[in-house]
Amino acid sequence: MGRLMHLRWLEDLVCVADEGHFARAAERRHITQSALSRRIKSLELWAGAELLDRSRHPIRLTDAGTEFVAAAHDIISQAYDARLSAEALSRESQDEVTIASLHTLALYFVPSLVSRLSRRIGAFPVSVVAETRTVEEYLSSLSEQRTDFFISYALPSDSEEIDTDAFEQKVIGRDRLVPYAHSSIEDPQLESPDGPPIPYVGYSGTAMMSYLVKELIQDAPFRSRLETRYRATLAESVRTAVSFGLGIAWLPESTVIAHGINPDLRRIAGPWQTEFEIKLFRSRNNTRPVVKRIWDAADAEE
């Protein structure tokens, strides 16, 4: 009983109870099965009782384990709620804002935006987080006030609508999605459904650009001719692949302009391009004064 108990041990036990198998629980917890077993054993030593009946398959909780897991759920929930409250109180007195952003926007758009805002309302410290997450994870981070803002391309028309009671959004910029190819690639003749295969550089399925491109070209006459040669999550990687002549790709125009003139990278003319919005999101529950000042000052650049 004198040993320290770790919160992750409680999470381990809850996971094993949910799964009924050590192997599946270990996979969910991203640890080896032997490490999970050791941690559960340490928890049982700390609790002074066997919490799992290992003789049964699937594994079940003992009577003591059933009571213990009920308490563990409450302890885990209270611990994370307390952490969120502490973080929120700590950040209330700070001027630093945290901006979550898609990677490409973090490279080119966000620095320009912060510079523009600083000229309007004065300098403020910023922390930019550019990680591969789902939209739901970005919005959850706003709700929990781990981040103050989320900057994204406008969400595809078939995506779930943003809860306007929980989040505010506004347009703060625009970009264009344009097809580009290396000069060594023959004219793909995008207006025709017939012709040779078109070498294509695409985006990985979870990338925001993947949805935007899909929406743009889903009814295009040339779509069946696209032959994927390369796929990547980041627009930067896709642009580099195009510059090496791997195929045609739809790129945010800003990523091409940012690298300056490249005589080997040519824009493909035609109707298969579109303008899209860049949006700023925030939680309505975030009442930090610096967040409101930034929100009020953030508008699309003329």
- Whether 35 and 99 share a structural domain: no
> Which residues are CB-neighbours of 119 under 8 A, at least 6 positions away?
none
Q: To the nearest 10°, the Cα dihedral for 263, 179, 112, 152? A: -160
**pLDDT value for 88:** 64
Number of domains in the chain: 3
281: amino acid identity, one letter: F
- Whether 86 and 122 share a structural domain: no
How large is the C-alpha radius of gyration of the chain? 25
- Whether 288 and 145 share a structural domain: yes
**pTM for the structure as a whole:** 0.66
Residue 247 lies in a domain: yes
Q: Is the CB of residue 242 less than 8 Å from the CB of residue 266?
A: no
- Whether 154 and 194 share a structural domain: no
Residue 1 lies in a domain: no
82-96 pLDDT per residue, tens: 877 776 666 555 679
**pLDDT value for 1:** 45
- Whether 27 and 159 share a structural domain: no
**Among 71, 91, 111, where does a domain finish?**
91
Q: Is the CB of residue 116 less than 8 Å from the CB of residue 162?
A: no
Q: Which residue has the tokens 């929980």?
A: 166
Mark the ranges of the chain whose per-residue pLDDT is less than 50: 1, 302
- Whether 87 and 44 share a structural domain: yes
> Which residues are CB-neighbours of 79 under 8 A, at least 6 positions away?
7
**pLDDT value for 71:** 94
The CATH number assigned to the domain holding 162 equals 3.40.190.10
End-to-end CA distance of the chain: 66
**Among 91, 116, 150, where does a domain finish?**
91
- Whether 215 and 243 share a structural domain: yes
Residue 2 lies in a domain: no
- Whether 152 and 179 share a structural domain: no
Domain that holds residue 34: 7-91
